[in-house]
Amino acid sequence: MSKAHLPDLRIDDRMIVAAALDRILYDDPDHFAAEDARTVRRLIPYGRSGWLRLGFRAETQGPSVKGEAAGVGDVRMEGDKKVVEGSVGESTAWRCGQYKITNHGGDLEIWQVMSDEYAPEPKGARLEFDAHGEPERLTFFQPRDIELRIPFTSMAVGVRLGGWQFWKQVAEGAGTAG
């Protein structure tokens, strides 16, 4: 699908989505209103994504220099840090208030704007729906980091595996939110 053919969200719709997400995420620690979830799903356009979604981040540290400085003693200067990030198979994310939302059909992926999978403390959630389109549960992103050291070098490869952990469920007999 070409990005030129994507529908747009009106500012009013973005404000409605942001308010509904605030209620879903912050109002009750154990439950959320089904109507808020339906509203968000209805307003965020579906975005096709590839069968494989893969993101990467690579960090390299430049060479360091050490020596002695007069009146200071031993000094060590670290080289510049370079970061490269990329992804494959991502679908369109919509910005609504402090959130970035992607509609995958069976779920809505929600991230705070200044956070992503690579953040030290990622702030992501997934609103999951059943086969009939009814909201079921909210999960949060819980990464597992693995570091693989390369023998006889000072290099290491870090791998972050994404996982989703249960957070809260839809409120029983949830009516309209207001």
Tens of pLDDT, residues 102-161: 998 889 999 998 877 777 788 999 999 999 999 999 999 988 888 888 888 877 777 777
Instruction: Tell me what pLDDT residue 50 has.
Output: 61
Kindly report the CA angle at 40 between 8 and 143, in degrees rounded to 5?
A: 100
Assess whether pLDDT exceeds 90 at residue 27.
Answer: yes
Distance from C-alpha of 102 to C-alpha of 32, rounded to nearest angstrom: 19
Yes or no: say if 145 and 158 are a contact pair by the CB < 8 Å rule: yes
Instruction: Tell me what pLDDT residue 20 has.
Output: 97
Tokens representing 136 are: 């079921």
Tens of pLDDT, residues 54-89: 666 667 777 888 888 888 888 888 878 787 776 666
Q: Where are the domains of the chain?
A: 9-47+90-170
* Residue type, position 133, single letter: G
